Structure 1
Amino acid sequence: MKKYFLFAAVLALFSCKNSDQDYDASGTFEADEIMVTAKANGTILRLDVEEGQELAIHEKVGEIDPKNLELQKEQVIASIEALDQKTNSPVPQIQVLQTQVSAQSATISVLQEQLDNAVRERNRTANLVAKDAATRKQLDDANGQVKVLQKQISAAQSQLNILQQQISTAKDNVSIQNRAVLSERKPTLKKVEQIDELLKNNTIESPIAGMVLTKYMNEGEFAITGKPVFKMAGLDLMILKTFITGDQLPQVKTGQTVKVYIDQGDSKTKEFPGTIYWISSKAEFTPKTIQTKNERANLVYATKIHVKNDGFLKIGMYGDVKFK
């Protein structure tokens, strides 16, 4: 019985090994690479990245000297504060006019009192004339005095209206002048917001979660907008690029699920599920470094397979594929 189990185990291992070696295609793993470039000009004050280092998404890893932008921001803020000093107040001018209004109102009050007295005196004189106790001339003089006072009151009232109009005009003029000055505040505040947005560009951060592949710049070097700082790649979803022959082409399609294998040593392999997401529409000659199922094939089609990485897959690692 023990000999039977030993024979069965050896047979199973041999069959498994032969089956594992019967792959439909082979290739190497790649990843979508992203070039992280400088978004601002200036000296790099800090850059905490090394090749092979894994970064989290939006992780802040460096800073470009923001001094010039900060000075611009301070200048704009100072100009905003200066706007308040450019505005005028109508209070001093209005106070002078209000004093004149008060004096004119007092004058009118005095004239009105004189008019009231003159009217009473005219009425008394008119009664005396009716009784032949006063002359007609005295009544005419009394009527003349009333008319003079009425004209003086009318002129004083006109002057009072002019002063009140001057107060209203002074308020309007100062308000218009201040609006013209303060109208600069809103666009100037927008300049501050623009500078704040530009200051964000002075922070160097990783756009994705992944590994740093190549570092191009170091602390102390001068960064220019668009100049590469480092290159990284996302490793969560790997790409197995392989080639298939024309005979295999009818067996595959985009969206098809396949099995991907990597070598783990000691004749062991690890299996991953994969999905074909791209097949080249043009044939090309077999690359020297790529093996296909049919070694004699001259024309092949590049194929890319998405494989979710559990941490074992590395860029440049070889992988094998079974389509069925």
Structure 2
Amino acid sequence: MGRGVSGATVVMSRNKFIIYIGILGLLIAAGYGVWSTLEVGGELVLSGVVEADDIHVGSKIGGRVLKVAAKEGQGVKAGDILVLLEPYELNASLAESRASLKQAEAKLAELVAGYRKEEIDQAKADWLAGKVQHENAERFRRRMGDLIERELISHQDYDDAKAKAEEAEQRMKSAKERHDLLLAGTRHEEVSQARASVEMARARVEILKTQLDETVIRAPVDAVVEVLDLEPGDLVGAGKPVATLLRTNDLWVRAYLPEKRLGYVQPGLKVKIRVDSFPQKNFSGTVRRVNRQAEFTPRNVQTTEERVLQVFQTEVVIEDPDRLLRPGMNADVFIPKTSS
């Protein structure tokens, strides 16, 4: 009789074990594996994983790799060099553009300063010489005019004298205008054009300097090099990422909040975090974001039971001044149920 009771007990125990296994399987299928939710005392516990933001770095111009200055897994500081690209062609273009800029600046300075004294003196001498020639030609014309009135010369002789006087007068006026122009200085239009040439040359230099800076690929923040697969001589495309960094000074936990617990959590909420690697240490955290779109729902929900499976991705920023945490660690986020 006792053996019969013992057999029944064994059968019942086996049935319970099978039921437990079935329930566990359903929980895992519903997403309660790495991403789980428990209630411990007066706290809601969300399980998740520590993550870090990826940063993809590259060059705007691209080029041929000269040197790889970092390696995968290496910690880097903001400003540290990761990759150097060949700068030779850009250096040559920059030197040429700087020479063109100096030439344009010299021309502008010459125009702003005005013409040289030697040029002005020569123009004045030409004007005075033209003035004397005009006066002589005019006196000769008047004398020829007296003679033609007395009919001592032909009209052709007078016309020749008159034409020479007019030519001398025109030369004198042209010389005077040139002298006045040089004395007054450069025209405004010439100076404006020269200034524009200088600005264009200067802009070209700045563009090349910026492009030259792009041959040095640096870490924008403190981070860990996750992906950097380059060798000297490799070609890098313009705007293409050459390395992926993990921003280790901005770690956060990705967890999933059940719909029925949505009222307990909102951005800005202060929470407590624990990780398996440091089970006795509490880390402070702040809820950064709760997705507005539910996940793990493959179709429109039709029943109350299905609504239970809806979850909302939640991001919690971790305070880790001692740099103890690493991306990939399992973490639990403790949320007071009184936070609503």
TM-score, with structure 1 as normaliser: 0.64
Matches of 1:260 and 1:235 in 2, distance apart? 17
More displaced 10-residue stretch of structure 1: 70-79 or 195-204 = 70-79
Identical columns (%): 21
- Select the residue among 47, 67, 71 that pairs with 1:26: 47
Using a 3 Å threshold, how does the CA distance of structure 1 residues 228 and 160 change in structure 2: closer, same or farther? closer
Matched, 1:217 2:230: yes
Matches of 1:322 and 1:100 in 2, distance apart? 98
Larger Rg: 1
Is the Cα contact below 8 Å between 2:107 and 2:194 reproduced in 1? no
Matches of 2:51 and 2:209 in 1, distance apart? 38
Secondary structure at the aligned position of 2:276 is classed as: strand
Matched, 1:284 2:300: no
Letter in 1 for 2:225: V
Is the Cα contact below 8 Å between 2:47 and 2:332 reproduced in 1? yes
Letter in 1 for 2:251: M
Using a 3 Å threshold, how does the CA distance of structure 1 residues 262 and 106 change in structure 2: closer, same or farther? same
What's the offset of the Cα at 1:191? 1.2
What's the offset of the Cα at 1:317? 0.5
Q: Which residue of 1 aligns with 2:263?
A: 250
Is the Cα contact below 8 Å between 2:70 and 2:81 reproduced in 1? no
Matches of 1:252 and 1:183 in 2, distance apart? 60
Q: Which residue of 2 aligns with 1:71?
A: 92
Q: Which residue of 1 aligns with 2:74?
A: 53
Q: Deviations over 1:167-212 (max 9, x none)?
A: 1235569767964556522321221122112211111111111111
Is the Cα contact below 8 Å between 1:54 and 1:210 reproduced in 2? yes
Secondary structure at the aligned position of 2:73 is classed as: coil
Q: Deviations over 1:30-49 (max 9, x none)?
A: 11111112222211112211
Q: Which runs of 5+ in 2 are unaligned?
A: 1-39, 135-165, 298-307
- Select the residue among 187, 210, 214 that pairs with 1:197: 210
Letter in 2 for 1:54: G
Q: Which residue of 1 aligns with 2:332?
A: 320
Aligned residue pairs, count: 249
Letter in 1 for 2:334: K
What's the offset of the Cα at 1:57? 1.3
What's the offset of the Cα at 1:101? 5.6
Is the Cα contact below 8 Å between 1:58 and 1:207 reproduced in 2? yes
Letter in 1 for 2:257: I
Is the Cα contact below 8 Å between 2:287 and 2:314 reproduced in 1? yes
Q: Which residue of 1 aligns with 2:61?
A: 40
- Select the residue among 267, 271, 279 that pairs with 2:282: 271
Matches of 2:227 and 2:44 in 1, distance apart? 33
What's the offset of the Cα at 1:306? 0.7
Is the Cα contact below 8 Å between 1:23 and 1:320 reproduced in 2? no
TM-score, with structure 2 as normaliser: 0.61
Matches of 1:157 and 1:36 in 2, distance apart? 75
Letter in 1 for 2:275: I
Matched, 1:307 2:328: no
- Select the residue among 222, 230, 235 that pairs with 2:248: 235
RMSD across aligned C-alpha pairs, in angstroms? 3.8
Matches of 2:221 and 2:261 in 1, distance apart? 36
Q: Which residue of 1 aligns with 2:140?
A: none
Using a 3 Å threshold, how does the CA distance of structure 1 residues 282 and 94 change in structure 2: closer, same or farther? closer
Q: Deviations over 1:230-277 (max 9, x none)?
A: 101211221111122233222222211111101237xx4321011112
Secondary structure at the aligned position of 1:219 is classed as: coil
Matches of 2:229 and 2:332 in 1, distance apart? 33
Matches of 1:162 and 1:242 in 2, distance apart? 89
Using a 3 Å threshold, how does the CA distance of structure 1 residues 174 and 90 change in structure 2: closer, same or farther? farther
More displaced 10-residue stretch of structure 1: 85-94 or 298-307 = 85-94
- Select the residue among 288, 298, 302 that pairs with 2:309: 298
Letter in 2 for 1:52: G
Using a 3 Å threshold, how does the CA distance of structure 1 residues 283 and 94 change in structure 2: closer, same or farther? closer
Matches of 1:304 and 1:183 in 2, distance apart? 53
Matches of 1:244 and 1:93 in 2, distance apart? 87
